[in-house]
Amino acid sequence: MIELSKKFDIEKIKQELEADRITIGLAICGRASGGWNIYEQLKSANLRLPVEITGCIGMCHNEPIVTVKQNNITSVYGRVNPGNVDKLIDCIKNNRECKELLICHDLNELDFYKKQKRLVMENCGVINPFKIEHYVAKGGYFPLKKILMQMSPKEVVEEIKKSGLRGRGGGGFPVWQKWSFVVDKQGKKYMICNADEGDPGAFMNKTVMVSDPFRVIEGMTIAAYAIGADEGYIYARAESPLVIETMEKAIASAYSHNLLGKNILGFEGFNFDVHLQRGAGAFVCGEETALLNSIEGKRGMPRPRPPYPADFGLFGKPTVVNNVGTLAHVATVFKIGAEEYAKTGTEKSKGTKEICLTGRIARSGIIEVPLGMTIREIVFGIGGGCPDGREMKAVLTGGPAGGCIPKEFFDTPLDYETLQQHGSIMGSGGIVALSDESCMVEVARFFMSFTQSESCGKCTPCREGTKRLLEMITNITRGVGEEADLEKIRLLAEFVRDNSLCGLGQNAPNPILSTLRFFRNEYITHIKNKECCAGACKSLMKYIITDKCVGCGNCAKHCPVQCISGEPRKKYVIDQSKCIKCGTCQEVCAFKAVIKK
């Protein structure tokens, strides 16, 4: 067996990670916020400290983030940009604290982190994701070595059972049970990592892959050993170039250190080859059988089940499909031990969950919390509630096929069964905060528009049902719906839910059914009063000039369609038949005389 400590000189690498240095998060949010230019400026500034990239630390609302460890004092700086980076550089050179950009000295001081439990994300924002030696120095691959030396495949499955780990792809199916269907099968088998992640506003799997890719690969390798697979695929979207680049380099690095390929870690007879498969970006390919079709070069459409992938999977062979989050948790279980892992979470939902916290929230980002934490603790304790003093109305959990949970149920714990009782799902793990500025009818229309456009068209309930649902919801947002439509919508939504072939169609009606259940009054207001209380539905929205108007004419001068008329020093009027609801009149009015209704 290969001695990892000697091969990677673990003690030396640990010293490097603990030494004074400058790191900058260059995962997806960091790069999108201009972090790469900041990195180049720091590198070229001739600082006495080494400058290195890391992954995402989770605080997307503060990107780009630069962490400086100098004289054994750690300082975390946020929102570094070309306009203030020179100040930061000057402070570093002169061994001073840059108070203007300082967030904290210890992340645990921040409300954003106090209630988190970072097990899977412990390395995110700490190690260089392109350096396998960093991952090993943090304890990586020692679990795999221990497994190969001391455990049989069935013992690995039993350990996962003891941990209580459930799939993190949305359904929450027990991982050990999924593996057990394949363990005793003979012949060729495949292990698949589902890295498709197509939910709008969901990027936790991408974050783990670009911040700690070897955790995913190690978890996948452990799973392959457990089920007896010698070949696997990571299915990732081609439209996520940083994910592709990071995983390609990580796979190559694992091969070069005998952590993939033949006789892994010197263990005779354990071979595992991994291929990176690029997907074309179809949302339905997040469903495991559609994903298998796509890898085989077929159109990405779900297969009828049975047969299940455990019996007839990739190329007709027994196959296990786990998503990125699940496999990252597998590696974590064997690092800290099944019993320790099972101490976190609830009786039925063990461990932690990575969550994307987005929408009308003060502190957006990627968090990792124990399962069972309430929505209130997440949205207000970690996310800080709505910005600008707005009132929180609801949250959408589970992505575009999730459900809307109103504020009166914010004490609901985050676990699989409880969310289902409120008409929602855990899904991939996105939480979208919705303020009083959100129209729940428009929210339902928006997400139905997404799922309808992503329907593969194979089964009639989803293909035709989502289209009809979208039409009826759209009519209501335009003020031409009827009250009788609400019962038709409910019946059709339930039919689509109960009769669609795959999870896309089965969950697509969730936003509609949950908003009908909890926000029926907003539907009624749209239908009877032809009004949108949130002012979000353009067809029902009006800009009105109030008596505060002094007749300056500034609104008329800037109106792009010349729909405003009046005389100097008299109240102006908007012709509603011509108004395109652009809002320019409200923006340019210095007297706040224009209101939106």
Phi, psi angles (nearest 5°) of residue 39: -60, -45
467, two tokens: 């289209």
Mean pLDDT of 276-281: 94
- Give the model's pLDDT for residue 169: 83
Q: What is the pTM of this model?
A: 0.93
116 domain-assigned: no
| Residue closest to 169 by CA, chosen among 287, 284, 283 | 287
477, two tokens: 């947002």
Assign residue 575 the CATH number of its domain: 3.30.70.20
249, two tokens: 């380099």
- Is the same domain home to 452 and 424? no
Map 368-422 to HEC letters.
EEECCCEHHHHHHHHCCCCHHHCCEEEEEECHHHCEEEEHHHCCCECCHHHHHHC
End-to-end CA, the chain = 72
- Give the model's pLDDT for residue 388: 84
Mean pLDDT of 268-275: 96
Can you tell me the distance from the alpha carbon of 577 to that of 563, in angstroms, rounded to the nearest whole number? 8
Q: Name the burial class of residue 564, with classes exposed (0-12), middle (13-18) and buried (19+) by CB atoms within 10 angstroms of its CB.
A: buried
pLDDT in tens, 480-535: 999 999 999 999 999 999 999 999 999 999 999 999 999 999 999 999 999 888 88
- Is the same domain home to 451 and 469? yes
Which structural domain range is residue 582 located in?
542-596
Q: Name the burial class of residue 87, with classes exposed (0-12), middle (13-18) and buried (19+) by CB atoms within 10 angstroms of its CB.
A: middle
- Give the model's pLDDT for residue 5: 81
Can you tell me the distance from the alpha carbon of 70 to that of 52, in angstroms, rounded to the nearest whole number? 14
Residue 541 has pLDDT above 80, yes or no: yes
Q: Do residues 489 and 473 make contact, with C-beta atoms less than 8 angstroms apart?
A: yes
Share of the chain above pLDDT 90, in %: 88
- Give the model's pLDDT for residue 267: 93
Question: Which of 435, 468, 496 is a domain's end point?
Answer: 435
Residue 536 has pLDDT above 90, yes or no: no
126 domain-assigned: no
509 domain-assigned: yes
**DSSP per-residue codes, 452-492:** HHH--S-SHHHHHHHHHHHHHHHHHHTT---THHHHHHHHH
Residue 366 host element (H or E) = strand 365-370
Residue 400 confidence class, pLDDT cut points 50, 70, 90: confident
Residue 4 has pLDDT above 90, yes or no: no
**Residue 503: other Cβ atoms inside 10 A:** 20
Share of the chain above pLDDT 70, in %: 100
Residue 337 confidence class, pLDDT cut points 50, 70, 90: very high
125 domain-assigned: no
SS3 state of residue 572: coil
Residue 160 has pLDDT above 80, yes or no: yes
Residue type, 488: K
- Is the same domain home to 360 and 383? yes
- Give the model's pLDDT for residue 596: 84
- Give the model's pLDDT for residue 398: 87
- Is the same domain home to 233 and 188? yes
- Is the same domain home to 361 and 329? no
- Is the same domain home to 479 and 423? no
256 domain-assigned: yes
271 domain-assigned: yes
Residue 566 confidence class, pLDDT cut points 50, 70, 90: very high
Can you tell me the distance from the alpha carbon of 539 to that of 103, in angstroms, rounded to the nearest whole number? 43
Mean pLDDT of 403-429: 90
- Is the same domain home to 192 and 276? yes
6 domain-assigned: no
- Give the model's pLDDT for residue 198: 85
Among 115-129, 148-162, 391-405, the range scoring the smallest mean pLDDT is 391-405
**DSSP per-residue codes, 5-74:** HHHHTHHHHHHHHHSSEEEEE-SHHHHHTTHHHHHHHHHTTT-SS-EEEE---S-GGG-S-EEEEETTEE
**Residue 191: other Cβ atoms inside 10 A:** 29
256, two tokens: 């070069």
- Give the model's pLDDT for residue 91: 96
Helices (H), 257-323: 288-295
Assign residue 399 the CATH number of its domain: 3.10.20.600
- Give the model's pLDDT for residue 214: 98
Can you tell me the distance from the alpha carbon of 457 to that of 143, in angstroms, rounded to the nearest whole number? 44
Assign residue 104 the CATH number of its domain: 3.40.30.10
191, two tokens: 């292990």
What total of structural domains would you count in the chain? Answer: 5
Q: What is the largest CA-CA distance in the chain?
A: 91
Residue 72 has pLDDT above 90, yes or no: no
SS3 state of residue 95: coil
- Give the model's pLDDT for residue 535: 82
**Which residues lie closer than 8 Å to 165 by C-beta, 6 or more apart?**
174, 175, 176, 326, 329, 330, 333, 341, 350, 351
Q: Do residues 527 and 473 make contact, with C-beta atoms less than 8 angstroms apart?
A: no
| Residue closest to 504 by CA, chosen among 463, 545, 561, 554 | 463
Residue 456 confidence class, pLDDT cut points 50, 70, 90: very high
Residue 43 has pLDDT above 90, yes or no: yes
- Give the model's pLDDT for residue 429: 83
pLDDT in tens, 162-173: 999 999 987 789
Give percent helix, percent strand, percent coil of the chain, each to the nearest 5.
45, 15, 40
- Is the same domain home to 323 and 187? yes
- The mean predicted confidence, pLDDT, of the chain is 95
- Give the model's pLDDT for residue 320: 98
pLDDT in tens, 572-593: 999 998 999 899 999 999 999 9
569 domain-assigned: yes
Can you tell me the distance from the alpha carbon of 247 to that of 234, in angstroms, rounded to the nearest whole number? 9
Higher pLDDT, 5 or 206: 206
Q: Do residues 240 and 166 make contact, with C-beta atoms less than 8 angstroms apart?
A: no
Can you tell me the distance from the alpha carbon of 524 to that of 507, in angstroms, rounded to the nearest whole number? 24
Question: Which of 94, 109, 124 is a domain's end point?
Answer: 109
Across-strand partners of 39? none
Q: Do residues 391 and 165 make contact, with C-beta atoms less than 8 angstroms apart?
A: no
Question: Which of 419, 435, 451 is a domain's end point?
Answer: 435
pLDDT in tens, 174-200: 999 999 999 999 999 999 999 999 888
- Is the same domain home to 547 and 491? no
Q: Do residues 282 and 263 make contact, with C-beta atoms less than 8 angstroms apart?
A: no
- Is the same domain home to 391 and 406? yes
- Is the same domain home to 517 and 547? no
Residue 201 has pLDDT above 80, yes or no: no
- Is the same domain home to 57 and 89? yes
